[in-house]
Amino acid sequence: MAGDTKKSGQHRRADTSLVRRPPNPARWPQRLILINLLLWAGAAFWIQMGKDATLARRQLAIPMALVEVPPELIQQGVQEINRTREEVAKINSTAERDLPWHKYAAPFDVKDTRPKIAVLVNGLGLQHEMTQQMLQSLPAGVTLGFSSYGRQLKEWLGFTRGQRREVVLSLPLQSSAQANPRESKRSEDAGPFALGADLTPMQNIGRLDWLLERGEGAVGLMPNANEAFWQDSEAADTLLSSLRERGYLLATPTATVVQSSLAAGVPTASLTVALDQPVDEATLNSQLQRVESTAKAEGAAAISLPAYPALLAPLNAWIAKLADRGFALVPLSAVTEQRTAINPPAAAPAPSPAATTAAEKQAAPAKTNTAKPAPASDKSKH
pLDDT in tens, 299-318: 999 999 999 999 999 999 99
pLDDT digits (tens, 9 = 90+) for 362-376: 444 434 343 444 444
Q: Quick: pLDDT tens for 12-55.
A: 554 454 455 666 666 667 777 778 777 877 777 777 777 666 66
Q: Are residues 255 and 245 in contact, defined by beta-carbon separation less than 8 angstroms?
A: no
Question: Tell me: the pLDDT tens digits for 162-178?
Answer: 888 999 999 999 875 55
- pLDDT at residue number 188: 58
Q: At what angle do helices 153-162 and 128-137 cross, to 10 degrees?
A: 10
Q: Is the pLDDT of residue 3 over 60?
A: no
Residues in a beta bridge with 328: 116
Tell me: pLDDT of 189 over 50.
yes
For the beta carbon of residue 41, count every other beta carbon within 10 angstroms: 9
Average pLDDT over all residues of the chain: 77
Highest mean pLDDT among 55-64, 167-176, 202-211: 202-211
| CB burial readout 272-305, b (16+ within 10 A) else e | bbbbeeebeeeebeebbeebbebbeebbbbbbbb
In the chain, helix, strand, coil percent, each to 5? 55, 10, 35
Q: Which residue has the higher pLDDT, 322 or 189?
A: 322
Angular region, 247: left φ>0, alpha ψ -120 to 50, beta rest = left
120-131 pLDDT, tens digit each: 999 999 999 999
Phi/psi of residue 150, nearest 5 degrees: -65, 135
More confident residue, 82 or 147: 147
- Round to whole Å and give the CA distance between 220 and 271: 14
What is the average pLDDT across 261-288?
Answer: 93
pLDDT value, residue 77: 72
pLDDT of residue 72: 74
Q: How far apart are CA 153 and CA 125, in angstroms?
A: 6
Residue 324 predicted with pLDDT over 90? yes
Packing angle between helix 233-246 and helix 201-214, nearest 10 degrees? Answer: 40
Query: In this model, does residue 205 exceed pLDDT 70?
Result: yes
Give the confidence band of 246 by pLDDT, cuts at 50, 70, 90.
Answer: very high
**Cα gap 214→157, rounded to integer Å:** 10
Give the pLDDT of residue 359. 41
- Which tens digits make up the pLDDT trace of 325-371? 999 999 999 999 875 433 333 444 444 444 444 444 444 443 434 34
Q: Give the integer Cα–Cα distance in Å for 68 and 52.
A: 27
Please, which residues have CB within 8 angstroms of residue 379's CB and are 6 or more apart in sequence?
128, 129
Give DSSP secondary structure letters for 112-156.
--SPEEEEEEEEETSBHHHHHHHHHHS-TTSEEEE-TT-TTHHHH
In this prediction, residue 94 has a pLDDT band, given cuts at 50, 70 and 90, of very low
DSSP character string of 179-212 = HSGGG-SSPPP--TT-B-TTS-HHHHHHHHHHHH
Q: Report how far residue 372's alpha carbon sits from residue 163's, in angstroms, rounded to the nearest whole number.
A: 10
User: For the ranges 41-50, 66-75, 264-273, which has the lowest average pLDDT?
Assistant: 66-75
What pTM was computed for the model?
A: 0.63
In the chain, the amino acid numbered 372 is: K
Say if residue 182's pLDDT is above 60: no
Going by C-beta distance under 8 Å and a sequence separation of 6 or more, which residues neighbour residue 329? 117, 118, 119, 139, 141, 142, 319, 322, 323, 366
